Structure 1
Amino acid sequence: MAGQFLPIVALLTSTFLMLLAGGLAGILLPLRGGMEGWTTTTIGWMGMTYSLAFTAGCIIIPHLVRRVGHVRVFSALLTLLCMALLLHALVIDPVTWMIFRGIAGFSLAGSYMIIESWLNERVTNETRGMVFSVYMIITMIGLLCGQYILPFGDPGTQTLFIICALIYAAALLPTALSNAQSPRPLTQVSLDLKGLYRRSPAAAVGSLIAGIVAGTWNFLAAIFGEMNGLSTFGIATMLACAMIGGVVFQYPIGRASDFVDRRYVMVVAGIIGFVLSAIMITFQPTSAIMLYIMMFLFGSVIYPIYSLNVAHANDYADANEFVKISGGLLIIYGVGSVIGPAVSGPLMDMIGAPGFFITMAFAFAFYGLHALWRIRRRQRPAISDQKTEFKFHPPDNKTTPETMQLDPRAESGKG
């Protein structure tokens, strides 16, 4: 097994470092914005620009790579990431921070795509599933560890920004010193919204809703924790509890959806998400332990729903359409992640912390009700072996069309 991973150790190391810095930045920047007295709406706009630029990067970066090559583009993007983090520390202004977040989102999209393209080139069909699983594990561990860097510094100073920039710089070294040959051209997203909706309305609408949920969670959960009086360590733990909940529950949810109509699982996920949101709105728990427990349970539906959409769409796909359909759903998901903070930010400004879960409640209610409506409108695939196998994807702007190429289902389009 060691021999299978040796050729990709450098790539996986770069991935881990990029996710480490990304986990730190994702919690550091909204907290610093809150310390500066910026409104939640303003912080939500920063999340919007990040998501919008990340989605645009998935479309534009493949053209840049074709023109100048993987290594040059990767080096330029990591340089931009370092500059963006340092500029956050130098220029404390909400408008410029939106620009810097946009630069970071665009650069991260391209960086992930190039890393994943290299990984795709180094794996075989026999090792693809194992490498995909390891890649997902490294993604989760990197994000988790990055969040726990926050308590070791003061968000009000420049230190954590410099540390984050240094980690991004370090992520360049393993691939820059690697002797791996440049891989094939990056996957170009083909977006056919009408075709995606006709093929699987539940997956298309579900991906938009999943993006709204993820955008709200990724960019404003730290502010929600701060509003409830959590320390920096407490906020990191709250986010970690949700992530752990997603990891624990994604297997049973995924396996259940492999044996029954996935839309029934979507309905159940929508009910669970709505009920948990209603509990948070009604009782507004503020004790750290209760928040950790509720976020652990909430993670059980935040994290798997996007993967349910991808698997459901591909149940109706031809054998060679996995990457095309998954890439299209990813763009729809990106649009949702722009909408999420735009809606929840103003709500949190108007009514405080409950506004966070009001957005979540409406999103999950619509997710479940739409899936229920689609069950009445369309039969499930007639043959059980036509169903794709459920595979987990993190619910954040870390997944690109190249991730779909790495997914073992891309080999044949079906699990």
Structure 2
Amino acid sequence: MLDVASGNKSGSPLVPVLGLSFFAVASGFLMSLIPLSLKANGLPADLAPWLASIFYLGLLIGAFTIQRIVAVTGHRIAFVIFLLLLTLTVAVQVVWAGEVTWLAARLVAGIAVAGVFVVVESWLLMTDTAKARAKRLGLYMTSLYGGTAVGQLAIKPLGIDGALPYLVVIGLLLVAAMVPLLVRSGQPNQHQCEPLRLKELKVLSRPAIMGCLVSGLVLGPVYGLMPLYIAQTDYAPKTGLLMAVIILGGMLVQPLVSYLSPRCSKRLLMAGFCAMGGLSVMGIAWAAELSVIMGCYLLLGACSFALYPVAIALACDGLPVTKIVAATEFMLLSYSIGSVAGPLLAANTGITSQGLPVYLAVCLIATSLYMLLSSNRRVPANDPPVANL
């Protein structure tokens, strides 16, 4: 067993990033596998939005309890616990293919994934400078989305029938859990985890909260419903490829986010990404050539996945290190509320028509306008003015 010195106040990024990479490959494969394998498991297709929403309801529930667990066990052990809990839910889906069972499993999976996100994000954000936080967030997001994109590509070689695809997911999650067990890296000190008081919640940036909320409203349907939307178009055989392109866009934009986030107004940055995301969705709805379609999906992924890291960086700017876990927990709560509502709202617009692109376009363009209006107000201390780039 490796034992890396733990004197570093902010902790080593090795364990969370390496473990997250395996987790991301597994979850990337799983997020498309579940809606696409419903028929093969004798389940109705209209269960898909409910599975997506109840998963994000689990994220919402988990966001209320994670800080206390991390404070007791520390980041490393909490990481293992949440990964093993997620593995158990996938095993349950393999053994019992029923509507109630899968809904319950996805609820618990949401709680476990909330734990993974808060543990990893707070572990990496526990450093003293905004520049270091931006670099670590970029590393985190690149690992997350890169692994997720690789997972999407597993759909074609592994298929969606039988237990084998789910067993592969279980194997990847077990490898992710082995990383913090075998590498005893310098995790943040347990006494650094302090809750946010009610009066402190009031000073959190409202644009940051809105950015996390809209990120959930957009990414919930992208994860849960976009595979079904693509499967109903002329590009159905390329569902896995197009989903991978979306995640690849999210991965490729992270270095740009890391560079711009500490150097310019985060509100204007979110406004710009949302505006470009709205345009990309229009291209998805009306473009006729595959190359253009792929470009629009790539841009949608870049703009959609850029929102959360910018928003959470804005929320954490100016906060003491001891409050980072609680802040990331609250931002995840905002994200989860959007993620619970997003798939159900999008499903009501019609998944197989152009309803899903219209829903995404409205969310992104409305958010762009909000961020532009917000940026015209007095700029607070935790959102630096635009720098000369």
* TM-score of the two chains, using structure 2 as the length reference: 0.79
Counterparts of 1:204 and 1:357 in 2: how far apart (Å)?
24
Check 1:151–1:189 CA distance in 2 against 1; reply closer, same or farther (3 A cut): farther
Kindly state the Cα deviation for residue 206 of structure 1 after the two structures are TM-superposed: 2.9
Which of 307, 310, 328 does residue 308 from structure 1 map onto? Answer: 310
Within a 5 Å distance, the mapping from 1:13-412 to structure 2 comes to: 13-33=18-38, 36=42, 38-40=44-46, 42-66=47-71, 74-114=79-119, 133-180=138-185, 184-185=189-190, 187=193, 190=196, 192=198, 200-230=205-235, 234-252=238-256, 261-281=265-285, 283=286, 285=288, 288-313=290-315, 317=318, 323=324, 325-349=327-351, 352-376=352-376, 378-381=377-380, 387=384
Kindly state the Cα deviation for residue 204 of structure 1 after the two structures are TM-superposed: 2.6
Q: Secondary structure at the match of 2:379?
A: coil
Check 1:237–1:167 CA distance in 2 against 1; reply closer, same or farther (3 A cut): same
Q: Aligned residue for 2:8? A: none
Kindly state the Cα deviation for residue 181 of structure 1 after the two structures are TM-superposed: 7.4
Check 1:248–1:109 CA distance in 2 against 1; reply closer, same or farther (3 A cut): closer
Check 1:181–1:218 CA distance in 2 against 1; reply closer, same or farther (3 A cut): same
- Of 149-158 and 58-67, the range deviating more from structure 2: 58-67
1:278-330 Cα distance to aligned partner (Å, 9 max, x none): 3434x264x54343121012223212122333344566x46669735554333
Check 1:172–1:373 CA distance in 2 against 1; reply closer, same or farther (3 A cut): closer
Q: Is the 8 A contact 1:21 1:167 kept in 2?
A: yes
1:69-114 Cα distance to aligned partner (Å, 9 max, x none): 7676555543332221122123222332111111112123334545
Q: Is the 8 A contact 2:134 2:258 kept in 1?
A: no
Q: Is the 8 A contact 2:283 2:296 kept in 1?
A: no
Q: Is the 8 A contact 2:16 2:123 kept in 1?
A: yes
Q: Tell me the amino acid that sits aligned with residue 310 of structure 1.
A: I
Superposition RMSD in Å: 3.9
Q: Tell me the amino acid that sits aligned with residue 164 of structure 1.
A: V
Q: Is the 8 A contact 1:258 1:389 kept in 2?
A: no
Q: Is the 8 A contact 2:314 2:383 kept in 1?
A: no
1:178-201 Cα distance to aligned partner (Å, 9 max, x none): 345775338465375x86566533
- Of 76-85 and 49-58, the range deviating more from structure 2: 76-85
Q: Aligned residue for 1:406? A: none
Q: Is the 8 A contact 1:263 1:375 kept in 2?
A: yes
Q: Is the 8 A contact 2:49 2:344 kept in 1?
A: yes
Q: Tell me the amino acid that sits aligned with residue 91 of structure 1.
A: W
Q: Tell me the amino acid that sits aligned with residue 241 of structure 1.
A: V
1:54-82 Cα distance to aligned partner (Å, 9 max, x none): 23223313434555676765555433322
Counterparts of 2:263 and 2:75 in 1: how far apart (Å)?
41
Q: Is the 8 A contact 1:34 1:223 kept in 2?
A: no
Check 1:112–1:187 CA distance in 2 against 1; reply closer, same or farther (3 A cut): farther
Counterparts of 1:120 and 1:257 in 2: how far apart (Å)?
14
Q: Tell me the amino acid that sits aligned with residue 196 of structure 2.
A: S
Mark the runs of 5 or more structure 2 residues left unpaired by the alignment. 6-11
Check 1:10–1:270 CA distance in 2 against 1; reply closer, same or farther (3 A cut): closer
Q: Is the 8 A contact 1:213 1:360 kept in 2?
A: yes
Q: Is the 8 A contact 1:267 1:367 kept in 2?
A: yes
Q: Is the 8 A contact 1:44 1:341 kept in 2?
A: yes
* TM-score of the two chains, using structure 1 as the length reference: 0.75
Mark the runs of 5 or more structure 1 residues left unpaired by the alignment. 391-415
Kindly state the Cα deviation for residue 344 of structure 1 after the two structures are TM-superposed: 0.9
1:206-242 Cα distance to aligned partner (Å, 9 max, x none): 322222011111221222221224456x223212222
Check 1:39–1:153 CA distance in 2 against 1; reply closer, same or farther (3 A cut): same
Counterparts of 1:171 and 1:81 in 2: how far apart (Å)?
11
Kindly state the Cα deviation for residue 275 of structure 1 after the two structures are TM-superposed: 2.8
Q: Secondary structure at the match of 1:157?
A: coil
Counterparts of 1:319 and 1:76 in 2: how far apart (Å)?
27
Counterparts of 1:261 and 1:127 in 2: how far apart (Å)?
17
Counterparts of 1:113 and 1:207 in 2: how far apart (Å)?
14
